Amino acid sequence: MSILLDENSRVIVQGITGRDGSFHTERMLEYGTTVVGGVTPGKGGQAVCGVPVFNTVAEAKDKAGANTAVIYVPAQFAKDAILEDIKAGIPLIICITEGLPVLDVVEVKKALKNTSLRLIGPNCPGVISPGKSKVGIMPGHIHKPGSIGVVSRSGTLTYEVVYNLTLSGMGQSTCVGLGGDPVIGTRFIDILDMFMRDDETTGIVIVGEIGGEDEQIAAEYIKKEATKPVVGFIAGRSAPAGKRMGHAGAIISSGDTTAEAKRTILTACGVTVVDFPDEIPSVLREKIK
């Protein structure tokens, strides 16, 4: 099985007529993702990569049966794009766009409250269920179908972890890039719970970094609820305090958000935390035996 995405995912691309939207639409189609439409206001009736373009999300959902949306529109328009998805009732919304103002995302989260809709991102690489569907910017060729679930705050570290898993013959059930902003739609604990409930996910990799308290919250969940082995990697052990390290969320704001503090609590809660990503496959293999 997989989580979030599978063969039944019918994807629309918001911003499909732009440079990034059209480029990644082509990559998703090449991977085998069912892209049923694109949305660019005022450009309905056109086609990109053979995919029909609609003026609104509601029209795309009605005419193409979309159940997943991926957003590549510029940051100043991304909030409205997400709110349009919410209004149309799109179950899964994946926002690749970076640079959204925090208050925009807070407004979006308020609109999501009391709904069953899910937002991944913003500022994320997307989601892939290898061999089934790829939505976002993840390089499909490094992934392999299998039973290891991967959830990460970092895009490039996700790729490194996945590449090492694949080289070691360990395929992935689903890989989820949460995004590196301080306010995001879906967090570690949400994805961990989905993986724990997925019968065909046998092991989990969690990739965190300095800043915020999501890893600490995830650690407490793992301690109480985990039924499968979890291996972790935390980036930023040598980051100086108070210095932003790439992601808006990757800022050490107090002593308990350092990489070492996160490693300590994860270890105390039963997670094996490795020093380097290439150590993950051998540790997982030993735990799954």
Q: Which residues are catalytic?
A: 247
If we measure between CA atoms, which residue out of 8, 27, 4 comes closest to residue 16?
A: 27
Strand pairing class (230-235; 92-95) = unpaired
Strands 92-95 and 68-71: parallel
DSSP single-letter state for residue 179? -
**Largest pairwise CA distance in the chain:** 57
Q: From CA 82, how far away is CA 97, in angstroms rounded?
A: 11
* Cα–Cα dist 211/180, whole Å: 10
- 3-state SS, residue 117: coil
First to last CA, the chain: 20
Report whether the peptide linkage leading into residue 125 is cis, meaning its omega lies within 30 degrees of zero. Answer: no
